[in-house]
Amino acid sequence: MSVLVVGSIALDTIETPTDRREEIIGGSATHFSIAASYFGNVLLVGVVGDDFPEEGFTLFREHGVQTDGLQQMAGKTFRWTGRYHEDPNKRDTLNTELNVFEQFSPEIPESYQSADLLFLANIHPSLQMEVLAQVGDPDLVITDTMNLWIDTAREELDRVISRSDILIVNDEEVKQLTENPSLYQASRQLLDRGPEYIIAKKGEHGAMMVSENDLFFAPGFPVEDVVDPTGAGDSFAGGIVGYLDQVGEFSAGTLRRAIVHGSTLASFDVEAFGVERLHTLSDAAINQRFERFREMTAF
């Protein structure tokens, strides 16, 4: 099986209270792809500029991520600069330069058409719709979004949501989409808008999965030293969708284990800047942390 992902590839400049990295490889599609690569076969669609460093291409290659759909355009790669507070749940965006991303129009290569799973990372809903128009009929469409699109592109976003099987959103976005302060009730409301499953990300509090007949909670992993939270949500999604691709069958039970794999990958992601930690994982390390989740929740 295979996973098609469309999202951003960026050069991130990240400041934390104690450290800083300049123009490291980032973006939603990057964090997703590297995380998913530990389980599934990842087909990447995105855009970079002519300044994208060779190490970026090498990174994808080393993780077996297919880059036939990775466009390289004249101009500069998308850049993002952010600063994290002492409380790593809080950050300020200092600068965003769309650069080549401004002209990005996703093109799905012929060779990607048969992908079983489609992950629409957090990009403008009109781009997500363009992707949906180009793919055949994937088994599952999994969608991420952000508050910006809820505020500015609500109609297109609602169309994307209505086409999604699984919606992965953070708790604030669930409440924003429904204007309901109860995360559980709000998530159930979203089931009426198309998706069969809502996965609500609750940051350090983990995740909740809601469907018509199922309800599941996974805790957040207590990371000893959160270095850089950038991309945690994308690597969470990468773990989920990659695991579904690896297992090759879909059920509520599979999705539960997929979510814990997502939490596992996200917990590694934040332990170092960018994808530094994700890049160097072993299957043994992943399995060991997955088992820690069992220990942390058994009673």
Q: Which residues bind its own copies (CB under 8 A)?
A: 86-89, 181-185, 202, 204-206, 208, 215-219, 222, 224, 226, 253, 256-257, 259-260, 293-299
Q: Name the nearest CA neighbour of 107 among 60, 149, 180, 45.
A: 45
Strands across the sheet with 91-97, in order? Answer: 20-26, 10-15, 79-84, 91-97
Question: For every residue of 148-202, which 3-state class applies, written as one string?
Answer: HHHHHCHHHHHHHHHCCCEEEEEHHHHHHHHCCCCHHHHHHHHHHHCCCEEEEEC
Residue 45 CB, nearest approach to its own copies (Å): 31
Q: Give me the residue label for tokens 């930690």.
A: 277
Instruction: Please tell me the distance from the alpha carbon of residue 120 to that of residue 194, in angstroms, as a whole number.
Output: 15
Residue 177 CB, nearest approach to its own copies (Å): 16
Identify whether the C-beta of residue 43 lies closer than 8 Å to the C-beta of residue 68: yes
Residue 298 CB, nearest approach to its own copies (Å): 7
Residue 12 CB, nearest approach to its own copies (Å): 23
Which neighbouring-strand residues pair with 117?
3, 140
Of 2 and 180, which has the nearer Cβ to its own copies?
180
Of 133 and 298, which has the nearer Cβ to its own copies?
298
Of 137 and 294, which has the nearer Cβ to its own copies?
294
Of 74 and 299, which has the nearer Cβ to its own copies?
299
Residue 145 CB, nearest approach to its own copies (Å): 22
Radius of gyration of the chain (CA): 18
Q: How many CB atoms lie within 10 A of CB 53?
A: 14
Of 153 and 255, which has the nearer Cβ to its own copies?
255
Residue 264 CB, nearest approach to its own copies (Å): 12
Of 96 and 251, which has the nearer Cβ to its own copies?
251
